[in-house]
A and B are shown apart, each in its own frame.
Chain A
Amino acid sequence: VPKIAKKLVSQTLQSLHGVDVPKRLRDSVDQYQRHLLDLAVTLRTSGEDEAKVAKVLDTVFKSYRAELIKTIMTLRGNDG
């Protein structure tokens, strides 16, 4: 289960590649990724199929990513 969950999370997070996450946000993003993995594991453990888990992760992550980009822009504005 953890292996499949890890694969699904990794697929979900692909769209984060190339995003320059400021140092100040890295802990927060790392923690989020751990929580996403925990969520994937519990969903799989409860019997949800891969497609369903992937869909849940994708839905949750898409809106997080949008907020993350907004936050990065805000921090750059605050700092600059």
Chain B
Amino acid sequence: VTTVLKNDDEEGRLRALDRLAILDTTAEAPFDKIVNLVRQVLHVPMCAVSLVDRNRQWFKAQCGLGVGETARDISFCTHAIGGPAPFIVRNAVDDPRFSGNPLVIGTPFIRSYAGIPLSTRDGYNIGTLCAIDTKPRDFPDSEIAILENFAKVVVDELELRQIASSDHMTGALSRRAWTDAAQMEINRASRYGRPLSLAILDIDKFKVINDTYGHPAGDIVIKRLAALCMASIRESDLFGRFGGEEFALLMPETNLGDAERAIERIRTAFAGEPIDTGCSIGATVSIGLALLDVGETDVSALIDRADKALYQAKNAGRNCTVVAWPGEPAIRQQIA
């Protein structure tokens, strides 16, 4: 299967990187071992698994570089992810693109570089596996072939982690992966006093849908809500499937008013268009919404308040959003 490389879609590339949920994670043995093997086999002093973020390159693993990340605008890897082929610099001092680069004229004094793009199955180059030397040198075809195959193994490792963190049916994060990522966002929001909202969504009368139209139709309804949510959310939002017909949407940097508007758009869009499952099904969703309280640091407490609001939404007749205001879970409803 040939994958078409999406070189021009930088936002899509960043979302693909985001979906891997690998940035700023701790060191892991598989990647550390690979960079050390590359160093031994290619006889280079430096090697890295570099992931190219919006404004930086971040190293999932590195040896010999001595830093965890660098600015993107000075990174060699930014050039390497621009195409499908290996990117090779034989002598950076003689290359006008790099001769004045701080990584060339200063530590770690890069002279030669070979970077293999790490390409996802959906065609995005999210980073590189790169071998770096402090001496000018060639990288013969045999070495590039080895580096390419190590790069494939790196991508396999990344994809293995992604499979574990995503819900197979919808592509949303699994509950565990969502909870881990949500806790990190809550820690950050709590530390810096930033707003953060959580919505829990539950498809109304889902058992009736399953019993009436069958489980395959029920799955289509679940997929429809998930697709609608994923098309509506921002890159920074976290969307996860909690199980069955229940989903969670964490919205960092979002106060209750903005969150309510965003979630209402999803609710009304879902209710507004019948779903074609072979039959035309009109489905609705109830939503509980809560804001991170001042000093709150526990994801489960926030989930609990959003859950209570969801329960009230169900009791209020479904197809509505109930907001749990900080402190007392006072109710405001928006009924279609």
A interface with B by C-beta (< 8 Å): 24-25, 28, 31-32, 35-36, 38-39, 42-43, 45-48, 56, 59-60, 63-64, 66-68, 70-71, 74-75, 77-78
Residue interface bits B143-181, CB-to-A below 8 A is 1, else 0 = 101101110110011011101100110000011100000
* A64 close to B157 (CB less than 8 A): yes
> Can you name 19 A-B pairs with beta carbons within 8 Å?
A28-B160, A35-B152, A38-B149, A39-B146, A39-B153, A45-B145, A47-B142, A56-B41, A60-B153, A63-B28, A64-B156, A64-B160, A67-B30, A67-B157, A67-B161, A68-B160, A71-B163, A77-B176, A78-B164
* B37 close to A59 (CB less than 8 A): yes
Extra contacts, 14 of them, besides A28-B163, A70-B164, A78-B167 (Cβ < 8 A), are: A25-B163, A28-B156, A28-B160, A35-B152, A36-B153, A39-B150, A39-B153, A43-B146, A46-B146, A60-B37, A63-B33, A67-B157, A71-B163, A74-B164
* B153 close to A71 (CB less than 8 A): no
The A interface, classified by DSSP as helix, strand, loop or mixed, is helix
Residue of B28, B146, B150, B153 near A32 (CB, 8 A) is B153
Looking across the interface, which residue of chain B has its beta carbon closest to that of A48? Answer: B41
The B interface, classified by DSSP as helix, strand, loop or mixed, is helix
* B159 close to A64 (CB less than 8 A): no
Within the assembled complex, what's the spacing in Å between the Cα atoms of A59 and B31? 11
Q: Which residues of A have CB within 8 Å of B156?
A: 28, 31-32, 35, 64
Within the assembled complex, what's the spacing in Å between the Cα atoms of A46 and B148? 13
B interface with A by C-beta (< 8 Å): 28-30, 33-34, 37, 41, 142-143, 145-146, 148-150, 152-153, 156-157, 159-161, 163-164, 167-168, 174-176
Q: Which residues of B have CB within 8 Å of A48?
A: 41
Looking across the interface, which residue of chain B has its beta carbon closest to that of A52? Answer: B41
Q: Which residues of B have CB within 8 Å of A43?
A: 41, 146
Q: Which residues of B have CB within 8 Å of A38?
A: 149, 152
A-B complex: 6 closest residue pairs judged by Cβ atoms: A39-B149, A63-B30, A46-B142, A35-B152, A42-B145, A71-B164
Looking across the interface, which residue of chain A has its beta carbon closest to that of B152? Answer: A35
* B163 close to A64 (CB less than 8 A): no
Within the assembled complex, what's the spacing in Å between the Cα atoms of A28 and B163? 9
Looking across the interface, which residue of chain B has its beta carbon closest to that of A40? Answer: B149
* B33 close to A60 (CB less than 8 A): yes
* B163 close to A75 (CB less than 8 A): yes
Residue of A24, A42, A56, A74 near B168 (CB, 8 A) is A24
Q: Could you tell me the distance in whole angstroms from the C-beta of B110 to the nearest C-beta in chain A?
A: 24
Within the assembled complex, what's the spacing in Å between the Cα atoms of A78 and B177? 10
Within the assembled complex, what's the spacing in Å between the Cα atoms of A75 and B168? 10
